[in-house]
Chain A
């Protein structure tokens, strides 16, 4: 294989040289020996032998050329040359590699996340065949939505399972968080209930034991658990005898029957489902099984398309079968009006090769936006490098002119320039790649809350690799090609003549660099503006008044699921716990609330004011259930009327406290105190009536970003059906640690099997703003980086201009221009660039602002204050940066500037 040795010889050139030398030396020896034998003197013979061989060096080189791949050899030489050039200017190299590494690192890290939540397919067999069944929106359903992304009831699943023409198999699952501990502090594992066919339809085979079979998910339900590889390693220490070991899931003991492969994380991107149990186990594990309930929407259904079926055909099929499914599964308690609506629901199939993901819904748009932002930063970095390289090319003008004049081809010189850029891009990409892996980990941490751990596979795959390599090539061309072409375009004679003989520089060649700097300024203005918008959004949300004071409030979640406490005792127990918590030293006050605000739980009902029926009112309000003292504990103002008290019991009139928004919506213009309202009831039961006894200020309910909603509060003491879990809020003035300890003991005194979990309310609030925080931090950091790079660029161009115009400035000063005049001259140049950049940047910002519109809170996408702020910040920094070279120009001695030749 001649090409192989030719390639190899490029990299063993010393050895090759030695062999050539030896061979020619042998030839000369033989040849001179022969001549000597013919009677020449030794010296003459040696000389004659050399003459006969011809030019020794040419001889050696042409022989060498036969042995190496010439283009590769030249490339190697170019790279070595580039390396030497870079070593000669370590400052430049460091700035270049660092800015590239930051740019490429940020881009790659964000791309890794985009890849993980959007582009990657599920690690199962033929993921492109998978579809997920969804209700066509808007759908008409109401009832109990008890799990993330739950769409179907159990009876609907049975209907779908019974006839699924387009699918070779269907599966159902329901995400569930299982408590692994047996009382006290809970320890959670993400998991799911899955249909018997789940693993078979996905095509996931176990690495140990077995997965489920259809008979595992049957009425008799001999439940076992299939665990993930990670769970096996983490929780069970990779125990080889894992099969048959028992797991406690929400207090119910289940044997492990199989382990899934390491790559399989479930079907929800962002969550690693560690434990899977059959659907039927819901009967055994949940206190209130959802299987018999026709209004519990807890299942997601996926199918695998049969060969030849398309998504559209599957949807068409589902549309025809939907009426039948709805008729067969109509929840019995719907009133006739809503039942009619329910029957119009239809189903459709959506592609599910990427699985389902809550994370994707929340973060896809922000991540694309961030990718755009970091892309701009990289562009700015490239412009910067192009500028620096242009300056270097100009400095080497004379050298290049000489080389061109002596016959070097332009292509070869361009290649030398490009080799240097390629090396920079290479170093930048490698260090950027390393940075990216650290960055993407920290990004995941930034959006991870204590409640929700996020599992994302951000590992290297061909997409990430391709992205990074693509970036490297693109950047290299972006910043390398232009200077290379510019640097070699001059005709040799002209370039050699022009070396600083003239007083001023040609404007034309310089204008490119000015355009580059103006572009940098424009882009960094856009980024700064964006950063300000996101930072202000985050601050607005932090400062926004939720209607209560979260600082100093500890929430305690109580879980009775495992405790042997009869239902009738619960109401009393909760009251007892409130009193116990209030009595703890350091606790100012305590109260019970069913769903803590901003926790994501919600409860909404149609409301009929003043005796009007609720079911047909089409006006909704949101609700919660609290104990006396709740508003006091949360420092929510009671505007009129009274708080709940201990006389509000099951035997007294049903009472409610409403917020201002509720009053405005349902009782406009009148005092709502003493009025009443109804909420919906199950079919056949009368709608319950509530008398309004108090009005409180507006509070946020589900999300800090929401507008105030109409809220109604019911008395905890009037709850006919208290659940097996509730929450308490404790306003504390002492150390949280000792209070938590005392509270835990107080609960354990009642029953040790009661679960309890604490969390500061303010942490819950901050964690609800993770997305906003991510945007603020990242866009802020990238905006500052952009500004720094643009400032560096401006500084570079201005100092370069000062250096080039040194003589002109000297003449001006010799002719009587004063220092301030010179400074003005230089600053005018900088201001011009800045002005052009800011104008262009403003136009782009106004357009780009609307891309971020949905992510903003309390600022408009075209917020002028932010725009002016960003412009001023940029202008100040940039002018300071150009003042330094300006002052340098002005302080120089005019004589030395003139004498510089």
Chain B
């Protein structure tokens, strides 16, 4: 499989999903893809292959919960929403991400 240009997003996929679900949940898998794509001004394209394993792992870890629902278009879809534990996890990952970017920015500014 050719490497996708968005591979570096792998580590942050959890963060993105949790963040989107917090503001806009419940959402189904495809909806999440669309939303991340749109919110990021089409900068971020989550690789479809890694989405579902990630969602299911997060569900098993208890960060998100899922429910089968009928969508407006009349399709049966698995809708995910964030749990209390997921919110805690989101806060922690946000914190980590901010520190990482701050650190990286400092290193880049170094002359």
Contact = CB atoms under 8 A, between A and B. Distances in A.
Interface of A: 2, 5-6, 19-20, 22-24, 26-27, 29-31, 34, 52-55, 58-59, 62-67
Nearest to A52: B48
Identify which of B1, B56, B77 gathers the most chain A CB atoms within 10 Å of its CB: B56
Nearest to B78: A23
Given A2-B62, A66-B60, A23 B52 contact: yes
Interface string B22-43: 0000001111001000000000
A1 B56 CA distance: 14
30 contacts: A2-B60, A2-B61, A23-B52, A24-B52, A26-B30, A26-B75, A26-B76, A26-B77, A26-B78, A27-B29, A27-B48, A30-B30, A30-B31, A30-B75, A34-B34, A53-B48, A53-B49, A54-B47, A54-B48, A54-B49, A55-B49, A59-B49, A59-B53, A63-B53, A63-B55, A64-B56, A65-B53, A66-B57, A67-B56, A67-B60
Contacts of B76: 22, 26
Contacts of A62: 53
A300 B98 CA distance: 84
Contact of B78 (A22, A34, A52, A53): A22
Interface in B39-87: 47-49, 52-53, 55-57, 59-62, 68, 75-78
A100 B61 CA distance: 44
Contacts of A66: 53, 56-57, 59-60
B53 A26 contact: no
Contacts of A20: 52
Identify which of A19, A30, A62, A64 gathers the most chain B CB atoms within 10 Å of its CB: A30
Contacts of A65: 53
Nearest to A60: B52
A2 B47 CA distance: 26
Given A30-B30, A66-B56, 7 more contacts: A2-B60, A6-B60, A22-B68, A26-B75, A26-B78, A30-B28, A63-B56
Interface string B1-31: 1000000000000000000000000001111
A104 to B, nearest CB: 40
A7 to B, nearest CB: 11
Nearest to A58: B49
A26 B33 CA distance: 13
What is the predominant secondary structure among interface residues of chain B facing chain A?
Answer: helix
A23 B29 CA distance: 8
Identify which of B30, B31, B68 gathers the most chain A CB atoms within 10 Å of its CB: B30
A53 B31 CA distance: 14
B98 to A, nearest CB: 28
Contact of B52 (A5, A31, A63): A63
A756 B81 CA distance: 89
Interface of B: 1, 28-31, 34, 47-49, 52-53, 55-57, 59-62, 68, 75-78
B30 A59 contact: no
Nearest to B29: A27
Nearest to A68: B60
Contacts of A67: 56, 59-60
A654 B45 CA distance: 123
Nearest to A51: B48
B62 to A, nearest CB: 6
Identify which of B1, B53, B55 gathers the most chain A CB atoms within 10 Å of its CB: B53
A729 B34 CA distance: 107
Contacts of A27: 28-30, 48, 52
A154 to B, nearest CB: 74
Q: Give 3 nearest A-B pairs by CB, closest first.
A: A54-B49, A66-B56, A30-B30
A555 to B, nearest CB: 79
Contacts of B59: 66-67
A54 B56 contact: no
Nearest to B58: A66
Contacts of A58: 49
Nearest to B52: A63
B52 A59 contact: yes
A141 B47 CA distance: 97
A754 to B, nearest CB: 84
A17 B95 CA distance: 36
Nearest to B49: A54
A5 B1 contact: no
B1 A54 contact: yes
Contacts of B68: 22
Contacts of B60: 2, 5-6, 66-67
Nearest to A67: B56
Contact of A31 (B30, B62, B75, B77): B30
Contacts of B53: 59, 62-63, 65-66
Nearest to A49: B48
A20 B78 CA distance: 10
Contacts of A34: 34
A280 B28 CA distance: 87
A50 to B, nearest CB: 10
A19 B79 CA distance: 12
Contacts of B77: 23, 26
Contacts of B34: 34
A34 B28 CA distance: 15
A29 B61 contact: no
Contacts of A6: 60
A34 B34 CA distance: 10
Contacts of B62: 2
A73 B28 CA distance: 28
Nearest to B62: A2
A5 B47 CA distance: 27
Identify which of B47, B49, B76 gathers the most chain A CB atoms within 10 Å of its CB: B49
A26 B77 CA distance: 6
A31 B49 CA distance: 13
B48 A29 contact: no
B76 to A, nearest CB: 6
Contacts of A59: 49, 52-53
Contact of B28 (A5, A19, A26, A63): A26
A65 B28 CA distance: 20
A2 B85 CA distance: 13
B101 to A, nearest CB: 28
Identify which of A26, A29, A64 gathers the most chain B CB atoms within 10 Å of its CB: A26
Contacts of A23: 29, 52, 77-78
Nearest to B60: A2
A26 B62 CA distance: 23
Nearest to B31: A30
Contacts of B49: 53-55, 58-59
A67 B56 CA distance: 7
A52 B62 CA distance: 28
Nearest to B61: A2
Contacts of B56: 63-64, 66-67
B78 A19 contact: yes
B77 to A, nearest CB: 5
Nearest to A31: B30
B80 to A, nearest CB: 10
A108 to B, nearest CB: 42
B36 to A, nearest CB: 14
A5 B30 CA distance: 25
A2 B58 CA distance: 10
B6 to A, nearest CB: 13
B99 to A, nearest CB: 27
A210 to B, nearest CB: 58
